[in-house]
Amino acid sequence: MIEKKYLKTKPECKVKFALPADKVGTAKNVAVVGDFNNWDCTANPMRKQKSGVFASTLSLEVNTAYQFRYVLDGTQWLNDDMADDYVPSPVSYDSNSVISL
């Protein structure tokens, strides 16, 4: 799930990335990785909410498209069902999610 809130005072968008509990399963650590953090699994860990949803909010530059994915426990990679687009990954046979701001 993705929520976008565009700021009126800056060319930024607050983007909330969220994964529901049924997608996360038994994973203890969930991170959002992508162009915005150099695909670093430690840069943007997602926090578990009381509802079981893992979420993280990032400020991203507008007029840009970012490739991203979720990483569960450092091993399982997931796309977002609500992504704006999907593109082939340059490093595997998988696709990456795309968010366009």
pLDDT tens digits for range 34-65: 999 999 999 999 999 999 999 999 999 999 99
Range of the domain at 23: 2-100
So what's the pLDDT on residue 90?
Answer: 86
User: Mean pLDDT in the chain?
Assistant: 95
pLDDT in tens, 68-90: 999 999 999 999 999 999 999 98
Q: How many domains does the chain have?
A: 1
The DSSP line for the chain is -EEEEE-SSSSEEEEEEEE-HHHHTT-S-EEEEEGGGTT-TTTSBPEEPTTS-EEEEEEEESS-EEEEEEEETTTEEE--TT-SEEEE-SSSSSEEEEEE-
User: What is the reported pTM?
Assistant: 0.94
Whichever domain contains 28, its CATH number is 2.60.40.10
pLDDT range class, residue 92, cuts 50, 70, 90: confident
